[in-house]
Amino acid sequence: MLSYLHSFHAGNFADVLKHSISAHILNYLTEKPNPVFYLDTHSGTGAFSLKDKEAQKTQEYINGIAKLWNLSEQEANNLPGLVKTYISLIKTFNTTETLETYPGSPWFAQHLLREQDRMSLFELHPREFKSLLQNIRGDRRIKAFQKDGFHACISQLPPKERRGYVLMDPPYEVKQDYKTATDTLIQAHKKFATGTYALWYPVVDRYRIDEIEKAFIKSGIKNIQLFELGIEKDKAPGMTSSGMIVINPPWTLMKQAKESLPLLAKQLAGSRGIYRCEQLVPE
């Protein structure tokens, strides 16, 4: 359909979850000197202005990154590591004292990966792809393709580096995307069983998420964790929560998430905030 634009939603509570967890994974993988391959199946533009009309129309970032940006110095110093690292990265991306821009997933990888690492970015939307090329220009580590990210996830695996991270966060414009994303990651794991995979999903209809969980549990894949962060219970209209299913997560991730998600739920939504940290499939 190609009508989805993430610029309407940049910096919202779902981005806080997705990017804080993704940054932790990238930091963990780069602790060892061996090269890492990063694949982003639905890259978007890589950068967003929160002053643009699209972000201002919805202002979803106000209930997301803005609530963390405005923490006092004392509050920020007491944050758990996963949240502290995430906020530090957002402040690095902004060039002013005020919150004006928000990075997309490719920027986090571009910033955290090293000279010896490699990135493949996929974005099908013509306008988004054009902006992506502008935002990554000059970086020889990156190859960008205006192709279907689901197919790319299979075609590029296994990577020559033998260490890698695949991030999949489709727009779910088409309801079939829930099943396509799940099936694609299960196939990808068969080709590259040692890779780390993260699937982002929105919680709009809980039964769709239940089906995803059942499919991964039945897949035979070991060591799968699930994390959710929400601003309302499921019965509220619209996207009330979002989640990340992580295959082969860093051993540090669960502890960091258990320390961070309760705080994020309270900070972003007060008493209405909800979260989940679960080992969906054991090692």
Could you give the residue numbers annotated as active site?
169
- Residues 201, 191: Cα–Cα separation, whole Å: 23
Look at residues 147, 211, 146, 144 and name the one whose alpha carbon lies nearest to residue 177. 211
The token pair at 239 is 């996207």
| Type of residue at 91 | K
- Residues 226, 95: Cα–Cα separation, whole Å: 34
The token pair at 6 is 């993430």
- Residues 7, 222: Cα–Cα separation, whole Å: 35
How far is CA 240 from each of CA 166, 169, 204, 230, 235, rounded to the nearest angstrom?
Answer: 25, 17, 7, 6, 8
Look at residues 2, 83, 100, 98 and name the one whose alpha carbon lies nearest to residue 44. 2
